[in-house]
């Protein structure tokens, strides 16, 4: 049953669409929300989920996506504050078991961890990888 989850993804940019395509091909039921319809062109032909055009900071849009049924919510828009708001609403109001938000500003991570929102900061993650690779270099 692992790949049979109901997953809501907010933001259909490069990261959002990539996740949506992958999770859909793995067999999950995926809903993508974006306020620009043109971003849905980023979805691949194998994407077998649903698209909702709308502003995810509006409760009615999240209800339309049946967020209450979701097993996972991933907020991937370019705006930290949108991601943080949607993630909190999903966690507190819709009791979504797993909530992940992309956050660009690493200083916000700590506070939101306390609020029950798991955040991933692409810059921090990338920096870690660079540091690991860099530490392998050097003349010895």
Give the footprint of other proteins on this chain (CB under 8 A). Answer: 4-6, 27, 29, 31, 47-50, 52, 57-60, 63-66, 69-70, 79-82, 84-86, 88-89, 92-93, 105, 107-108, 111, 114-115
- Token pair in block for residue 71: 């097993």
Of the pair 79, 118, the CB lying nearest other proteins is at 79
Of the pair 38, 114, the CB lying nearest other proteins is at 114
Cα–Cα distance for residue pair 92/7, rounded to 1 Å: 17
Question: Shortest Cβ distance from residue 70 to other proteins (Å)?
Answer: 7
Paired with 96 in beta bridges are none
Cα–Cα distance for residue pair 9/72, rounded to 1 Å: 8
Cα–Cα distance for residue pair 6/65, rounded to 1 Å: 10
Question: Shortest Cβ distance from residue 17 to other proteins (Å)?
Answer: 15
């Amino acid at each position: 049953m692992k790949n049979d989850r109901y997953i809501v993804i907010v933001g259909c940019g490069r990261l959002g669409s990539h996740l949506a395509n992958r999770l859909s091909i793995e067999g999950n039921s995926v809903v993508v929300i974006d306020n620009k319809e043109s971003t849905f062109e980023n979805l691949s032909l194998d994407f077998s989920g649903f698209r909702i055009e709308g502003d995810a900071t509006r409760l009615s849009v999240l209800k339309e996506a049946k967020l209450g049924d979701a097993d996972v919510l991933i907020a991937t828009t370019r705006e930290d504050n949108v991601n943080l708001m949607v993630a909190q609403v999903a966690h507190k109001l819709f009791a979504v078991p797993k909530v992940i938000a992309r956050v660009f500003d690493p200083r916000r991570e700590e506070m939101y961890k306390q609020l029950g929102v798991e955040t991933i900061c692409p810059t921090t993650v990338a920096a870690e990888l660079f540091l690991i690779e860099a530490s392998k270099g050097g003349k010895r």
